[in-house]
Structure 1
Amino acid sequence: MLAESWKAVTQETLRNCFPHAGFTLDAETAVSPQVDSVCDELPSADVAFDDLRAAGVSIPARITFEGFTNADKDLELCAELTNDEIICQVTEDSDDSDTENEEPATTQPTSSELTGNMTLTEIEADMIAGKRTVQKQISDFFAPKC
């Protein structure tokens, strides 16, 4: 029934949902021309750095935008492995997964097993202890403090 309902929805119904929710795309508010015009008006990197310095951000004068962006260009993020090293790592992982499967899985006992293991006297002792517990009066919580 639900599938049939969705099949009955027309494209026009879906198209009308967006303006009803406030999502409209007018010719003068189209995104792509505005983005292009904004990108054309961006200041150069040196001007942006000067603006940051003028705003109080402490950027030393010897640091340029190009130097800032290329600071970690030569940094090695991870070791380049040879094919043999990659094969060795993959085969080691598969060996480890085999040993994991061989270990016996510990299971939690079920509530019926736990109840069966308790003796009748332990159950009776728990019931008696529960009956001896008395709930405090509400006035005990509001007693005047000395």
Structure 2
Amino acid sequence: MSNHQSAWETLALQPLSSPQAWVLKHELLYIPIFNILLLSIQPIFFKRHLGVQAMRKLVRQGIQSLRKNRWVIIFPEGTRVRYGEKKKYLAGGGMLAQKSGAKIVPIAHNSGVFWLRDKFAIKNGTISVVIGPPISPHGKTAKEITKEVQDWIEGETQKFPNA
């Protein structure tokens, strides 16, 4: 699980492990040409408006991906968030970890300082990235797992230089 500030992390996290299954919002399928590329990576599409039904599908498909030795990449905020702002993490990643028993590898970065969310502009600088120790889901609720991941990512993010 990683914080989501820009398009940078969607590119930069690709080489970390292979193969991967990305959890993506269903609306991305409506972008011509891009949708074909997305389908080629076999993502897990998430329809937020379906609530509990969408969460069950995420867990089911996430477990299938994990059984195929695919890393499941989740941005728990559910959308890109400007650097320095906070948004409640959604429980999908925590629920997947709880149901599957898979550990979560948290990733924190400050890409939003350099790759601006609402502008097609990239500033010069060095993006900081920290990959944390795996977080075990055993004996925890999905909510507790999600909070532990959020606390770790937000804590690490506060240590980064603002550039």
Larger RCO (CA under 8 A, 6+ residues apart): 2
- Which structure shows the bigger proportion of residues in helix conformation? 1
TM-score higher than 0.5: no
Q: TM-score range by the shorter chain?
A: under 0.3
In the superposition, the TM-score normalised over structure 1's length comes to 0.15
- Which structure shows the bigger proportion of residues in strand conformation? 2
